Amino acid sequence: MASHLRDRSFPSLFLAAILGIIIGSYLNSAVEMLPGGANVFKTFFTGSIPIGIGDFTQSKPAVLDLSAIKLMLGFQIKFSLLSLTGLIVGLYLFRWYR
């Protein structure tokens, strides 16, 4: 059963994972727009954990000042239950993709 998975390339696996995360984040945004205020359902499914470089809450990226050159770096990933669900569904569908 796993022999056909070895024939797949890493870029196609990476693309399936990224597409699953993007679809999950769109689902997250759709659930956030549901009316009803901040109830347990919305808090559980839309709560996210940001991981990254730089402070995105105040729009301050990480700065490396070398006097002649100033580099500003910023990168953030927000994990939520729906983005994780999208990742799992994307990888499951990738398993059956030929």
What are the residue boundaries of the structural domains of the chain, listed by start?
Answer: 3-51+78-96
Could you tell me which of 17, 9, 8, 25 has the C-alpha nearest to residue 79? 25
Over pLDDT 70: what percentage of the chain?
Answer: 88
Q: Which two tokens stand for residue 4?
A: 């056909």
Over pLDDT 90: what percentage of the chain?
Answer: 0
pLDDT confidence tier of residue 1, bands split at 50, 70 and 90: very low
Query: Is the pLDDT reported for residue 66 higher than 60?
Result: yes
CA atoms within 13 A on the CB side of 18: 6
Which pLDDT belongs to residue 5?
A: 53
Which pLDDT belongs to residue 32?
A: 84
Question: What digits encode the pLDDT tens for the residues 22-42?
Answer: 888 888 888 888 887 778 878
Q: Which two tokens stand for residue 68?
A: 């002649």
Report the distance separating Cα 71 and Cα 66, nearest Å: 8
Q: What Cα–Cα distance (Å) separates residue 97 from each residue in 31, 34, 58, 73, 75? A: 28, 33, 42, 36, 31
Which pLDDT belongs to residue 54?
A: 73
